[in-house]
A and B are shown apart, each in its own frame.
Chain A
């Protein structure tokens, strides 16, 4: 069961680069965990800290890279991440959205996301919003010129709105399936198992057509 989202207002932090890969979001040494939680302190580990991190480390005394936005005071309570195209490319590791969620991000905004990462976000209560290049550019400009820049996200009406100051509103497109997923926070396995009979029927048919698929691996 994932946390549901309908609206969200929060501070925006920038990761101003294209093709941010999931290795960058959560480096490999942290993938050795057998848990789903606790990845937030190692989110963007190689960009965020000046030393090399290791699993289950106390990160509070590690040297910080103060050039990295998440270490700067103005972005301290950010819950919306603004970034560039093809965010989340590379490895399918769900540890990437786990780390973003654990850190406190609820919404990601970019011109495009990589397929597997995009899909993984919805399983973890994170809303990835795709806006066109010019809108993302506009938000970056606003973000850099406004202290405590925050945005209002409305998933029901599919809009990104200004929270204060100059008014603007951008509409975004989202597949109804993904939208429902987040709004209702459903258990997908329960939902699928409602079709148990249909799956069984299909499977029986498949066993007739391709018997070699079944029973060979013991």
Chain B
């Protein structure tokens, strides 16, 4: 019999039962809640007079709606400028109090974007099943969790039963061997992968990222990669547990205590695919020729190297692709054949559950240190992913570096990634963004998003246009 993949192992370890109708009941170890996708689920519980199955498996925070402006934050819930946002945040607070769920409220020290907060508090640990009403939940797969996004009906179902009714996915392995060149980051790796397999390439699969590149990558880097599995169509992205994972996951607030840790580590060591495991699909890429990536269109698959020119839609065989590329270029107000580095930038956003961790901020700070944001840039935001990231960055003086260079240092939240608060693009503005989606209107109605790494976004801030960060950082070496 062939060996098991990491996904197979996590699946069978959490399988309560296979049901007659072909679905399965999967036990959920950790459920993360936020204000946007939970109110209707709590309402459902109330209407049916149900209680949560248990409370200690749930953890909640507010991140999507909240202001990142320090003065507005000081005003608490009533400091949120938008009344409907206030209601949503207050509803989460009320629901968590009523149902007895631990919540990190807006200004609590542990608060942060769900997928930054979870691992840093140790609320998510290797080997867990983790769900959240948010498609970027795959982030937690970076530490060997089976983690994915769910809809609000499923949020209610997990609250009430601690289980998910689901079907087993297929296994895909994406192998990236070789060495990343100077200036090429985890964000560039995942954008390259999406460019290669397309936004639906992973549909129906759980992806395991494997190979030298991920073995050498930091845990935070792996989070950036797994975070964007959904942008390749896969709900689940994961990386096998190794010494780095174990080091990262030891000594976290909600992790195993001293008497449990040795046993926990022993069990985590098994969280890797067997050597003879069979994957339904394998994709192999070489790291050697990867370059910093930037998106030019309205889907994450519309991506190329910073040194490239915008492709001509006519050069593609598929009519679907020609049509969608044409309409994307029209929306972006760009034409084929121009160099990526000719694209002017109006705003810069460094943040989101993809790239707002301490390593991301260090990477961006190194680029802007001693330099000034171009005068043509209307706004450059740095939004740390959590209160803990913010404090750490301030201890390291990164906030001062950003402020001296002309970037704004904000309070933790989702911010301009999806523009549910006041941080947004105006129609027609081009944004160098470290977030995960460049969909039409995602960062503000009519806004135009270019996805890239934190260092590339920092370089764009300095040059006022898309720029090859290596031109700056070569000198820093």
Contacts and interface: CB of A to CB of B under 8 A. Distances in A.
A212 B256 contact: yes
Assign chain A's interface to a size class. 35 or more
A46 B235 contact: no
A17 B153 contact: no
Contacts of A166: none
A29 to B, nearest CB: 7
A64 interface: no
Nearest to A1: B48
A52 B36 CA distance: 21
A218 B289 CA distance: 48
B157 A23 contact: no
A92 interface: yes
Contacts of B150: 92, 116
A172 to B, nearest CB: 16
A211 interface: yes
A93 interface: yes
A105 to B, nearest CB: 17
Interface string A99-132: 0000000000000101110011001100000000
A203 interface: yes
A189 B135 contact: no
B219 to A, nearest CB: 19
B264 A189 contact: no
B262 to A, nearest CB: 12
B267 interface: yes
Interface stretch (A7-15, A73-81, A82-90, A149-157): A82-90
Contacts of B312: none
Interface in A178-218: 180, 188-189, 191-193, 195, 198-199, 202-203, 206, 209-218
B153 A120 contact: yes
A48 B23 CA distance: 38
B242 interface: no
B57 A217 contact: yes
Given A90-B135, A115-B233, A116-B149, A32 B88 contact: yes
Given A86-B199, A114-B203, A212-B257, A192 B161 contact: yes
Contacts of B264: 210, 212
Among A23, A89, A218, the one with the most B-chain Cβ atoms within 10 Å of its Cβ is: A89
B102 A46 contact: no
Contacts of B102: 217-218
Nearest to A193: B161
A17 to B, nearest CB: 7
Contact of A93 (B37, B85, B91): B37
Interface in B136-162: 148-154, 156-157, 160-162
B284 to A, nearest CB: 24
Contacts of B442: 23, 28
Contacts of B466: none
Contact of B56 (A36, A112, A176, A215): A215
Interface of A: 17-19, 21, 23-24, 27-29, 31-36, 46, 52, 55-56, 84-86, 89-94, 97, 112, 114-116, 119-120, 123-124, 175-177, 180, 188-189, 191-193, 195, 198-199, 202-203, 206, 209-218
Counting from the closest, the 6 A-B pairs by CB-CB distance are A123-B153, A34-B39, A212-B256, A94-B151, A120-B151, A92-B149
8 contacts: A19-B324, A28-B419, A32-B65, A91-B135, A92-B150, A123-B154, A211-B260, A217-B56
